[in-house]
Amino acid sequence: MLSRGDNKLDIHGRIPSHVGIIMDGNGRWAESRGLPRIEGHRRGSERVKEIVEVSLDIGIKCITLYAFSTENWQRPKSEVSMLMKLLELYLKNELSKLVKKGIVFRTIGETWRLPENIQKLIKDTTEMTASNKGMTLVAALSYSSRNEITRGIKKIIASGIKPEEVTEDLVTSSLDTDGLPQPDLIIRTSGERRLSNFLLWQSAYAELYFTDVLWPDFDKEEFMLALQDFQGRERRFGSLPVSSNAS
């Protein structure tokens, strides 16, 4: 088991092309300190900046952040309102930095359900970074994988495709993530060990990394531990190990 201080990432080794992160534990982080839950979300948004910077520096090509699920709409209106405000502030404050760093910004999910001002910011940010050539930053907003797959199936049916013409590639291209590489690594913070409706189709062969660390405490060092763990995995995609002599 790797621990802090043991995070010697091999920068010449295998770096995941696409990392998905379930950023969990903001509310619990705040409550454990006697703070309002929204303070945990605010601290969590600060952590996003650090992890994006690190990802850019080490050459990760795509990072998808599970920022707001369709289930999150069921939370108290006051909390949802504050989450939208934090998202607005992030987009406003980080836009120029994203452009300068060559990052491409993209969203997945039912963004049409978000407040109109957020929708406009998303549209503007997406358009302003579309010609960039650097890392792709994907925000999963009002997103759930089952919803995404359902919408994808409806799209296929509406196009008049015959059942015998449906392929895995066709389903993949009908999803919100069309054009993105499949995730190599999915990280979940806070001690929960489930995907919670995140990139279910896309993560068929992703490596999963679970940590008890709450998202506001998931710093560069913790991220390096996850990447180092990934480098120690043998990815076979259903085949036999390289060392196997089986026929």
**Tens-digit pLDDT profile for residues 227-244:** 999 999 987 766 656 554
pLDDT score recorded for residue 106: 97
| Percent residues over pLDDT 90 in the chain | 82
Predicted confidence band at 245 (pLDDT cuts at 50, 70, 90)? very low
Is 24 annotated in the active site?
yes
Which member of 6, 7, 10, 24 is catalytic? 24
Q: Is the pLDDT of residue 9 over 90?
A: no
Residue 94's pLDDT is what?
A: 85
Which pLDDT value is given to residue 3? 59
pLDDT tens track for 45-68? 999 999 999 999 999 999 999 999
CA angle 109, 139, 180 (to 5 degrees): 80
Burial of 206 per CB tally in 10 Å (0-12, 13-18, 19+): buried
| Mean pLDDT computed over every residue of the chain | 91
**What mean pLDDT comes out for the span 218-225?**
96
Considering the entire predicted model, what is its pTM?
Answer: 0.91
Determine the pLDDT at residue 246: 43
Q: CA-CA-CA-CA torsion for 117, 121, 127, 133, nearest 10 degrees?
A: -160
* CB-count exposure of residue 47 (10 Å: 0-12, 13-18, 19+): buried
At residue 216, the pLDDT reads: 97
All structural domains of the chain, each given as residue ranges with its CATH number in brackets, are 18-144+184-231 (3.40.1180.10)
Find the mean pLDDT for residues 107-123.
96
- Is 1 a residue whose pLDDT tops 80? no
| Mean pLDDT, residues 88-104 | 89
Residue 4 in contact with residue 221, Cβ under 8 Å? yes
**Residue among 161, 145, 162 at smallest CA distance from 200:** 145
End-to-end CA distance of the chain: 33
**Is the sign of the CA dihedral 129, 123, 49, 65 positive or negative?**
negative
Provide the pLDDT for residue 13: 72
Q: Is 197 among the residues known to form the active site?
A: no
| Helix, strand or coil, per DSSP, at residue 244 | coil
- C-alpha span between 196 and 188 (Å, rounded): 10
Quick one: average pLDDT of 185-191? Answer: 97
Catalytic residue among 7, 72, 132, 147: 72
